[in-house]
Amino acid sequence: MKRGMRGPIVISIILHALLILMFILKWNLDKPKRPAGGGGGGGGIVNAVVIDQLQFDQHKQFVKQQKAKKAEAAKEEAEEKAAAAEAARQAKLEKTIQLKKQQAAERAQKEKARQEEILKQKAIALQKKKEELKKKQEEEKKLADQKEAEEKAEKLKAEKAAKEKADKEAKEKAKQEAKEKAEKEAKEKAEEAKKAEQEAKEKAEKLKAEKAEKAAKAKAAKEAKEKAKRDAAEASKLEDELLSEDAGGGAAAGPSGNSTKPSNTAGPGGSGGGDPGYGDKVANMIEQRMLIDQNMKGKSCVVKIRLAPDGLVLSVTAGSGDPAICRAGITAVNMIGTFPAPPSDAERTINATIQPQ
């Protein structure tokens, strides 16, 4: 049952109940009263009341009409109330619908604003995230570039260090090889020089022995010759004295008997001044260190020697004479290296004459 129909039905029921109640009350009022009497028999008198059927029917019809009018009025009232209630309900419903629409519109507006705010916040968050991502990417790129630059620098540094190490090792190796080669060459040269020196020494000793033997023989021959000269001089002197005595003791005009030996210093081997024997000493030292063979005998060479104040050889050059003797003389000078200190500055340049015996 609809809610709008409940009011009229309830009113109709109430009206019907009231009409029935009024009919009952009217019936009780119209009912004749029993008279109070007392009889000998104690019984009451029954008074019969006759109800007019027509009146009853009219009353009944009147009640029915009233009831119908009241019902119609109640119905109309109920219908009006129902219509008013329905109108009120419709108005309320429309108002509710309008309110709901308004609320829905407000909610939609709010939801739209909320969604827009959410979208805005999402957009802001997305933009922020993009910026953070971009910043992070830039930082990562910067770090990557920095790392790449550092790795490149380290690589270049390592390559440079490796190259420097390789160059250093190559230089050290070349230096070591050059040193070993130089040491080997020097050793070989030293061995060769030592061997040559040994051979030269042996040959020099042999030649020195031969020269000493020849010098001894020459010295013996010279001493014998000088002795013979002295003996002849003494004999001549004795003869002159004897002749002087025979002639009456006259003074002798012959030689004094003193033998003089001309010096070789003023000759080609001398220096032209100073100690007359210094050039001969130099020449004799050179001849003693020379390697002499039989083809050099009877030949000579002049070598020019420049000396320091302490006798150190500054230079030696070949002059006139046999080339082989000059070469041998220069070699001997270089082997000697230092001669006795010259007596004077004038004798620091010597033209020594070499004459192998």
At 325 the pLDDT is 92
At 57 the pLDDT is 79
In angstroms, rounded to a whole number, what is the distance separating the alpha carbons of residues 340 and 198? 25
At 276 the pLDDT is 54
Q: What is the pLDDT of residues 280-315, one digit of tens each?
A: 899 999 998 888 888 888 889 999 999 999 999 999
Q: How confident is the model at residue 29 (pLDDT cuts 50, 70, 90)?
A: low
Q: What is the pLDDT of residues 224-266, one digit of tens each?
A: 566 656 655 665 555 555 555 444 443 333 333 333 333 333 3
Q: How confident is the model at residue 270 (pLDDT cuts 50, 70, 90)?
A: very low
In angstroms, rounded to a whole number, what is the distance separating the alpha carbons of residues 263 and 269? 10
Overall average pLDDT of the 206-223 stretch: 65
Q: Are 318 and 344 in contact (CB under 8 A)?
A: no
Please name the helix (run of DSSP H) or strand (run of DSSP E) that holds residue 104, with its range, or none: helix 53-246
Q: Are 271 and 281 in contact (CB under 8 A)?
A: no
Tell whether the model's pLDDT for residue 277 goes beyond 60. Answer: yes
Q: Just give the CATH number of 269-357.
A: 3.30.1150.10
Look up residue 21 and give its two tokens: 């109640």
In angstroms, rounded to a whole number, what is the distance separating the alpha carbons of residues 239 and 237? 5
Overall average pLDDT of the 167-191 stretch: 76
In angstroms, rounded to a whole number, what is the distance separating the alpha carbons of residues 1 and 17? 22
The pTM of the full predicted model, rounded to 2 decimals, is 0.28
Q: Outline where DSSP puts E strands in the chain.
A: 301-307, 313-321, 349-354
Residues with Cβ < 8 Å from 314, sequence gap 6 or more?
Answer: 306, 307, 308
At 293 the pLDDT is 82
Please state the domain extents for the chain: 3-30+50-120, 269-357
Percent of the chain scoring above 90 in pLDDT: 13
Distance of CA 256 to the CA centre of its chain: 102
Which of 94-98, 104-108, 327-331 has the highest mean predicted lDDT (pLDDT)?
327-331
